[in-house]
Structure 1
Amino acid sequence: MTSWLGNVRRGVWDEASYLANYHLRPRLPRLVCTVEAAQQRLLGRAPLRILEGRGTEGHQTLAASFREPRLGRLFERRFAGKDAVVREQRPFDHTKQTAGSDIEAHEVPAFERTAWARRGFFGLPLWVRQVVPLERGVDPFPPSRHIRHRIRMIQRCGYGYEVTRDRAAFSEFYDRMYSPTMLARHGADAFVRGRRYLERGLRHGALLVVTQGGRRVAGILNVFHAVDPLHVSTWAGGLLDGDLDLLAEDADSACIYFSIQWALEKVGCRRISLSVTRPFLDDGLLRYRKRWGARLEPESAWAWNVVVLRVNRWTPAVRATLCSNPFIVVGRDGLSGVACWGGVAGGLDDLHAPGLSSLTIVTEHDQEPPPTASPDFVVTLTVGHEVEQLQALAHALAE
């Protein structure tokens, strides 16, 4: 009985989520965001967690409050470390209290973003979308050596593809590709969409299955935009039985390669969205998709909330954390990047991403900024005023 009830609840939730995400958000984004923000206020604030992390530069504390636990764990690992210990958990009202920690990170309604910015908080989107523009007669693939190598590997492995809406093929995709891959990649933090949710998406799109020697080895669900029929989005993908060894054989690259080909040549689309990624410039998935020519865009489907981030104390541990976590913020001119210079592997080129309106480099008083950085987007911190300068930067980027 419990299992049956759970399936019914999951089915109802999938239907409601699909209706909101696919039909309502593209047409009435402000209304949906307002309703969800009001719902959050009725449910009350999320609890505050005080975490203590320790790294090579010493220990630091993070105060965090998130409604979605999986999202919260992502930001907690980023700004407190994987081995951080929860020291305290208590009710918290953002409007009446300050968290009193080295760094704060809270999930709040998006319409409150500018108010938080006035208090020195950066506003990070929950997710960002990466979109590849398509044009008839123009090669959609960048002429980079990396992508050309990937394409040669796809051809050498003998991959092909088929496009279907067959229910049996979808069941195989969901049970043997999508779900196992999500669990293999993300473990307990995996966000696995319900079967009915993706089935509804299939009605407005197609399942692209990558084949090798007659065997289906990977798949990706592509769904047309509810308002713009020339815009297709990748909703879900996976490798056969969640076998991550297929990554080394470029099966995941084949999903992207064939999806772009299909969208341009078979359907005539002008844009293909390669799903969403985390708002960090060092994110591996973000950098990988950037190589395929994808541009960053705000993700409207997740735009009802943002993560506000503030530095309260400047210590060697806080500096090391910011250096290793270059992030993306939502501002007056769209998306902007913020990177603390000094611990960024790969140099400035790895931080640039198409679609960013600006990239601000933060350096300390005794550091030289990278030579290719624009002087207009370099903030040099002065001793004793680091916190005030960072909070002023957060305000300036938002207004």
Structure 2
Amino acid sequence: MKFINSFRKLLSRYRYSAWLLDGAEKQSGENLRIFYVGAGTINKNYFTNLVFKNVTKDKYLGRFWLSRPLGFIPKQAGGCDLAVTDIEKWHLADSKQPCFYVPCWVDGKVDIDETLRLAKKRESIKSDLRRIRKHGFTYDIERSREKFVEFYEQMYVPYIKNNFGNEAALHSLEGILSRVDDSELLMVMKGDTAVTAEVIVYRNNEPWLMCLGVLDGDRKHVKAGAINALYYYRLIHLKSKGFKEIDLGASRGFLGDGVLQYKKKWGIGLTGMRENGFLIHRLAKTAGTRAFLLSNPFLLNGQEGFSSVCFVDGDKLPTEGQQKTMISRFAIPGINRLLIYQLGGNGSLLDFGLDAPVPVEVRRF
């Protein structure tokens, strides 16, 4: 039986499900048709929600062997604009076509002292701290098994399901409880009530933020600044324990992701990616693919490490002010360069003359 289970697991790494997705691209409303291949539905749902305003077709096409060339399109999915394959990085050697490999999840850390210095001068963080003081948030630490169960049932599951819907990737209660002996529950208090909390796991002598939740999943606590308080008090607490860095856990690899951008505000530096990524092939130069590329800047993981990638309209090049915004949003610590792809246009390449913390390359696409 053990051999059979191992064999099935091995096969699952080569045989993936496929879907045909068709609908209106989220920002432009242009029609977009995607052939999507992946092992599960969570990343598929995430990608679908990211890309489409509404989906007119979500058709399951069956299962396919990844022994076929990546980017292979079966007859029943002909006429697609994009092919997207959710695969482990080691499969990339099989790809013979130009493509982008976008991490499904990226990891990052913060330097505690550096982030506390940021908190004194970065206006967006100073605003968060004023809100914390206004609402009188404090924090407490719990270690009892019962409190972890309460957190899971009353905070974590409601918040993740309410916030992420059909793309929620939930830890199991068993998985959290298995780490209780090496964990703490940091709770943000409003008076005597815990309104948000997170599980801090101490592994390899480093704190890792496993998961967080909000009481009843109620966004009124988020609007009041409870998660801001969580970000701040974790720094205070872990500094008091003598730690220098915090592993912030995973974020999505698309640069417009709200969680990633919020972590960036608090000083995240990218450290690596998880096993899987979205391998994206552009199959047709349509209005839909153009809109998708212009609307969804992403992290690229390659031999040279992380790059931030964005696309600009060759007929309407970004102004100096827009270029400054690009640097501010996309130059995340941990990337090695900012790649700007210019779509169309008959003129010269964008002259990116602003100073940036990383090299900037402009290419046609």
- Decide whether the 8 Å contact of 2:14 with 2:67 is kept in 1: no
Separation (CA, whole Å) in 2 of partners of 1:44 and 1:355: 31
Q: 1:275 aligns with which of 249, 252, 261?
A: 249
Match of 2:42? 70
CA contact (8 A) 1:140 1:260 kept: no
Task: Please list the CA deviations of residues 156-197 of structure 1 after superposition, one character each: whole Å capped at 9, or x if unmatched.
Answer: 211111112012222221111111111111223322211111
Equivalent-residue separation in structure 1 for 2:309 and 2:115 (angstroms): 36
Higher percent of residues as strand: 2
1:87 CA drift (Å) = 4.6
TM superposition score normalised by structure 1: 0.77
Consecutive unaligned residues in structure 1, runs of 5 or more: 1-34, 382-399
Q: Secondary structure of 2:108's partner?
A: strand
- The reply to whether residue 148 of structure 1 matches residue 122 of structure 2 is no
Q: What is the match of residue 122 of structure 1? A: 100
Q: Which whole-Å CA distance do the structure 2 matches of 1:81 and 1:53 have between them?
A: 7
How far apart are residue 250 of structure 1 and its match? 0.4
| Alpha-carbon distance between aligned partners in 2 of 1:67 and 1:187, rounded to the nearest angstrom | 19
| Counterpart code for 1:372 | L
Unaligned runs of 5+ in 2: none
Match of 1:254 in 2: 229
Decide which of 58, 62, 81 is 1:86's aligned counterpart.
Answer: 58
2: distance between equivalents of 1:67 and 1:138?
41
- Number of the residue aligned with 1:363: 342
Find the aligned partners of 2:283 and 2:340 in 1 and give their Cα distance.
Answer: 19
CA RMSD of aligned residues (A): 2.8
Q: 2: CA distance between counterparts of 1:319 and 1:134?
A: 40
What is the letter of the counterpart of residue 173 of structure 1? F
Q: Distance in 2 between matches of 1:42 and 1:188?
A: 22
Structure 2 counterparts to residues 13-162 of structure 1, below 5 A: 39-41=9-11, 44-55=14-25, 56=28, 58-87=30-59, 89-96=61-68, 98-99=72-73, 100=78, 101-116=80-95, 118-135=96-113, 139=117, 141=119, 143-162=121-140
More helix per residue: 1 or 2?
1
Structure 1 residues 194 and 137 mapped into 2: Cα distance closer, same or farther (>3 Å)? closer
Amino acid at match of 1:340: F
Q: 2:11 & 2:307 partners in 1: Cα distance?
A: 29
Residue pair 1:128, 1:298 contacting (<8 A) in 2 also: yes
User: Comparing 363-372 with 198-207, which one deviates more in the overlay?
Assistant: 363-372
Distance 1:37-1:289 versus aligned 2 partners, 3 A rule: farther
- What is the CA-CA distance between 1:39 and the residue it aligns to? 2.6
Distance in 1 between the 2:60 and 2:178 partners? 42
Q: 8 Å contact 2:16–2:66 — kept in the other structure?
A: no
Answer yes or no: is the 8 Å Cα contact 2:34–2:83 preserved in 1.
yes
CA contact (8 A) 1:132 1:295 kept: yes
Point out the more displaced range, 54-63 or 160-169: 54-63
In the TM superposition, what is the alpha-carbon distance from 1:88 to its structure 2 partner? 5.5
Per the alignment, do residues 292 and 42 of structure 1 end up closer, same or farther by CA in structure 2, a change over 3 Å counting?
Answer: closer
124, 148, 158: which one aligns with 1:180:
158
Q: Structure 1 residues 350, 109: CA separation in 2 closer, same or farther (over 3 Å shift)?
A: closer
Q: Distance in 2 between matches of 1:326 and 1:279?
A: 9
Structure 2 counterparts to residues 280-359 of structure 1, below 5 A: 280-299=254-273, 302-303=274-275, 305-342=276-313, 347-348=325-326, 349-359=328-338
Describe the shift of the 1:82–1:285 C-alpha distance in structure 2 as closer, same or farther (beyond 3 A): farther
Please tell me whether the aligned partners of residues 142 and 293 of structure 1 are also in contact (alpha carbons under 8 angstroms).
no
Partner of 2:354: 372
Aligned residues: 339
